[in-house]
Structure 1
């Protein structure tokens, strides 16, 4: 992919897409967005767990065919919305002759204790990536669905494409909602969907992300790679890890206060609803896709 012109029982699926590049557009100014991903110590632990869960599903840290270049060295990799930097720390310690860069609007990443071939940058993707055109061999973005408004996706994707070298790869990773849910989990998803739609965020957009990518110019290839697993006791150890992550996020003080406010109910009622979901995970077979695409890879996850 290149920029020629410079410019319960929850069954999960994971899918990855691959693209190939186009012209840049002018950077847009706007308000600094809120940091919608968790950033306290417990929630960051959850992000670490999600990283290793996805690595287990793919048997690797990525789906794009970039490993040979990483091993040879000199490969430049960017992770947009890197959070605590788990993905980059894993890669930079394994591929010591390549170079890794992480970007996030909040400095929740390590500042000093990190490999020499890894650099973190505090920056806002919505104001444009702070790099010239055609710099990176591999650009990765994960878990940004809650932060990117529907009207911002075209710009975000164009920026990822702009900084990727011709013939390079892009991998996007997001989570999609589960299917065949019980009533308690359906209610929870409806609450989050309503809350996000008020901010202009569409949680169902991941199912159409490959079409948005393909509409962005000189994309020559989009490839999907879908994986699935069960959340809850019927999913074995992996399912229980995913259930723990789900509860870690939804039982946090911030989440319970948000759910209580949105529903106009007490925090005790919210906690009872979450207990009902745990019981549903033992009973229902929920299906939840994890999708991905790129200018040579996009991932969309739960």
Structure 2
């Protein structure tokens, strides 16, 4: 959930071991594009990330649009009228607000909207998905579908520090694996410059917050530990780590257990950054 260089009302179960059922992280016959859960049983994890970010920033977004949302008639892409977009069909079917529409689509093939549609476009947690050579295109698509004068906001994990040796080793593995796929986990640290280079926008604002992962970070730290374990104990992650390291899945799970033990003695921090700007009128 990061790279090695760089009190709340959450309710969650604190995992102390990894003997949990494995989840399905890919549709049969398709190679997953990134390490995020897309089984309905894992949607709670995405909700936890959402509320974790909200707790860190004390709001759902940094752009000044709250009054516009209250007044209504405001169109928002991803997170008035809301449109949620994902490459996998993981949206709730039975319970959703009347002003919310879900669309299954792949941003790398272009957003399925005409120009100048949305008042606010929000994108989050694409760190593992976007290759270095794709970021310009992705950002240009976000800007394209935003109305003149509308806002764009991106939220990403942007590094970590004070990691113990076991956690550092895991980050090194993922950094190496992502590099082989053309994904640079360090790139999001300079995402503001990449956004700014696209033009047709005002100055990019940036707000970075840090928090501890693990029991030494209190309730928030335990929430992040649960999220960390949820992703790293999935079928896709276990198989990847096993293949990458040339070790059995049992050894991989023991390695992850070592990280859990290490978190009791260390105070690793994770950074989350919001980047936002406005499309020029």
**Same fold by TM (over 0.5)?**
yes
CA contact 1:292–1:298 (8 Å) conserved in 2 = no
Aligned residues: 278
Assess, with a 3 A threshold, how the Cα gap between structure 1 residues 33 and 239 changes in structure 2: closer, same or farther: closer
Aligned-pair distance for 1:47? 1.1
Do the aligned partners of 2:211 and 2:217 also contact (CA within 8 Å) in 1?
yes
Higher alpha-carbon deviation: 2-11 or 292-301 = 2-11
Q: Partner of 1:208 in structure 2?
A: 190
Change beyond 3 A, Cα 1:98–1:232: same
Q: Is the 8 A contact 1:104 1:124 kept in 2?
A: yes
TM-superposition CA deviations, 1:64-101 (whole Å, max 9, x none) = 111011011111000xxxxxxxxxxxxxxxxxx90111
Report the Cα offset of residue 34 of structure 1: 2.8
- Does 2:167 match 1:167? no
Unaligned runs of 5+ in 1: 79-96
Deviations 1:10-65 (A, max 9, x none): 9999999xx99999999999999735421124432211111111111111111111
Distance change in 2, residues 1:131/1:281 (3 Å)? same
Greater RCO (Cα-Cα under 8 Å, separation 6 or more): 1
Q: Indicate conservation of the 8 Å contact 1:8/1:233, yes or no.
A: no
Structure 1 residue 123: Cα displacement: 1.2
Higher mean C-alpha displacement, 173-182 vs 232-241? 173-182
Alignment partners' CA distance in 2, 1:44 and 1:183: 30
How many Å apart are 1:3 and its aligned residue? Answer: 34
**Residue deviations 1:165-197, cap 9 Å, x none?**
111111101113322211111110111111111
Contact 1:150 1:201 in 2 (8 A): yes
CA spacing shift, 1:203–1:7, aligned 2, 3 Å = same
8 Å Cα contact 1:224/1:293 also seen in 2: no
1:289–1:301 CA contact under 8 A, matched in 2:
no
Q: Which moved more, 1:250-259 or 1:116-125?
A: 250-259
The alpha-carbon deviation at position 291 of structure 1 amounts to 9.8
Q: Using a 3 Å threshold, how does the CA distance of structure 1 residues 214 and 20 change in structure 2: closer, same or farther?
A: farther
Runs of 4+ in 1 over 4 A off after TM superposition: 1-16, 19-33, 288-296, 298-302
Q: Does structure 1 retain, via aligned residues, the 8 Å contact 2:120–2:150? A: yes
Do the aligned partners of 2:119 and 2:147 also contact (CA within 8 Å) in 1?
A: yes
User: Contact conserved, 1:11 with 1:231, CA < 8 A, in 2?
Assistant: no
Secondary structure of 2:61 counterpart: coil
Post-superposition shift, 1:139? 0.2
- How far off its partner does 1:292 sit? 9.8
Q: 1:28 to 1:76 in 2, by over 3 A?
A: farther
Which runs of 5 or more residues in structure 2 are unaligned?
Answer: none
Aligned in 2, Cα 1:196/1:294: closer, same or farther, shift over 3 Å?
A: closer
TM-score by length of 1: 0.76
C-alpha change, 1:228 and 1:2, in structure 2 (3 Å) is closer
